[in-house]
Structure 1
Amino acid sequence: MTTRLSQVVAVEKPAKTEAYGVLTAAHHQVQKAPLLAGISRTYRPRDDDGEQLPPENSRVQLRAEDAITDVVTALTRFYDVTATKDWANTTAKADVVLDGAALLRDVPVPFLLFLEKQLTALATFIEKLPVLDPAEDWQYDNDRGVWRTPAFETVKTRKVPRNHVKAEATDRHPAQVEMYYEDIPVGTWSTVKYSGALPPARVKELQARLQALRDAVKYARESANATEIGQRRVSAALLDYLFHTPANNTAA
């Protein structure tokens, strides 16, 4: 009987949850001594006229062998489903195709899943890449290996004190003079800005290529998961050996 890898993957987690639930419950139950114990007592007085007491009985509520059977039943499905998936992962493969050509061939499912996680991390990295200030005119400087702006000049000034006569001196009053500072050009700055950031178009290109690659990996994974696979039955050999019941169940 065959099935698709995607179907096996879908049922693996529920099978695991159920198996661990049954195993945990059985583990706790077999440690409760009262559930495993039973008793049957009858009373007989020494004399015929003695007090008559009713018998006392309590049944065994849990057999350890029954707990083992429940665990084996749950683990059988979980082990077989997991084995089917893991064996399939060694054979279910697909090509990562971009622009009609195979970028990677015969990629197994585990590596496709790995790639999806890695590309998600790279998406965050690319999104945070620094971009050049669009307000500037950038040109690539081959000698320096960075981007640069054309040189632009700014005037260097120096403040020089000046006197402003608000009122001339008279025979009675001195002149009223107010001091102020005047910016006098003393030189010229020639400035070139440099940057190691990226042009916005470059970042957009990287984002587009990353998205195309993520889509291609996703399609490859879906294609590989659609592979028809044979179901594996491994639990019987393992669990039968582990929980083998002797012909004489009372044997040591």
Structure 2
Amino acid sequence: MARLNQIIAVEKGAKTRSQRELTDIYHALQKPALLSGISRTYRPKDEEGETLPPESTKVQVKAEDALRDAAKALTRLFDVVATKDWANREARADVVVDGRTIVESVPVTYLLFLEKQLTDLHTLVGKLPVLDAAESWSYDEGQDVWRTEAVETARTKKIPRAHVLYEATDKHPAQVETYTEDVIVGTWTKVAFSGALPARRVNELRDRVEKLQSAVKYAREEANAAEAPERHVGEAVFAYLFS
């Protein structure tokens, strides 16, 4: 008795072969000359007349034969696919990660679906934004985001000043030099917030997805190793169609 993975392996070849044979049959049926035959004999008017050899062309393609050939070409394919699909109904396996059963008795068709979805999830996790490692982050429960420690920076303002170089006298006015001075007028307190994730969390999620991917692949292989009793449906189908 074949196993499901063996049936899956031969299915593609069976499809290709039957498609090729059907194409050949179809093309042959489109050539009227192959379906036509003729027989001609010549009889002179009298005994003195010229005699000519008979002419004949045989029928090379018969429609009924073409139907039988089509049935033969497709019967094997019908049986292979039926064997696979019937086996798929019974092929199941548990998805187990680190000894823990995540999902029990999963059909092989669903395992294939799950495998595709996990590939997409792996891509998503790989694109998750990560908190800037140059900052020190803590979780703000109230705002449900990550935040940094408050950092204070001074705000300065340029204030004009005057410096007397020479005092005024009765003969000369005072000489004054003007300049500006940066004076602290306040303090900025900055806190950065982020919706990104710590690198540790992203790595943990990636590891979980990859472990589950491996478990699903293992389960698929196990399910595909199930026995696949042969199913014969093609003969019944074509016995009805072309009888």
TM-score under structure 2 normalisation?
A: 0.88
Q: How does 1:1-252 map to 2 (within 5 A)?
A: 2-160=1-159, 183-244=182-243
Secondary structure of the structure 2 residue equivalent to 1:44: coil
Gaps of 5+ in 1: 165-174, 245-252
The CA distance in 1 between the partners of 2:42 and 2:179, in whole Å, is 124
Distance of aligned partners of 1:39 and 1:145 in 2 relative to their CA distance in 1, 3 Å threshold? same
Residue type at the aligned position of 2:104: R
TM-superposed deviation, 1:50: 3.1
TM-superposed deviation, 1:220: 0.6
Residue type at the aligned position of 2:232: R
The CA distance in 2 between the partners of 1:184 and 1:231, in whole Å, is 92
For 1:6-47, what per-residue CA distance to the aligned partner results, in whole angstroms no more than 9, with x for missing partners? 000101111111112212221222121111111111122323
TM-score under structure 1 normalisation?
A: 0.85
The CA distance in 2 between the partners of 1:15 and 1:37, in whole Å, is 32
Distance of aligned partners of 1:26 and 1:185 in 2 relative to their CA distance in 1, 3 Å threshold? same
Q: Identity over the aligned pairs, expressed in percent?
A: 57
The CA distance in 2 between the partners of 1:187 and 1:230, in whole Å, is 84
Distance of aligned partners of 1:43 and 1:154 in 2 relative to their CA distance in 1, 3 Å threshold? same
Distance of aligned partners of 1:50 and 1:163 in 2 relative to their CA distance in 1, 3 Å threshold? farther
Partner of 1:247: none
Distance of aligned partners of 1:50 and 1:183 in 2 relative to their CA distance in 1, 3 Å threshold? farther
Secondary structure of the structure 2 residue equivalent to 1:62: coil
Residue type at the aligned position of 1:142: E
The CA distance in 2 between the partners of 1:160 and 1:35, in whole Å, is 107
For 1:164-189, what per-residue CA distance to the aligned partner results, in whole angstroms no more than 9, with x for missing partners? 9xxxxxxxxxx9x8x87654433211
Distance of aligned partners of 1:150 and 1:109 in 2 relative to their CA distance in 1, 3 Å threshold? same
The CA distance in 2 between the partners of 1:145 and 1:31, in whole Å, is 72
The CA distance in 1 between the partners of 2:162 and 2:16, in whole Å, is 91
TM-superposed deviation, 1:158: 3.0
Residue type at the aligned position of 1:40: S
Residue type at the aligned position of 1:69: R
The CA distance in 2 between the partners of 1:26 and 1:159, in whole Å, is 95
Residue type at the aligned position of 2:49: G
Secondary structure of the structure 1 residue equivalent to 2:2: strand
The CA distance in 1 between the partners of 2:57 and 2:181, in whole Å, is 111
User: How many residues in Structure 1 have an aligned counterpart in Structure 2?
Assistant: 235
Gaps of 5+ in 2: 164-174
Residue type at the aligned position of 1:96: V
For 1:120-176, what per-residue CA distance to the aligned partner results, in whole angstroms no more than 9, with x for missing partners? 111111111111111110000011110000000122233456789xxxxxxxxxx9x
Partner of 1:249: none
TM-superposed deviation, 1:105: 1.0
Residue type at the aligned position of 1:44: R
Secondary structure of the structure 2 residue equivalent to 1:140: strand
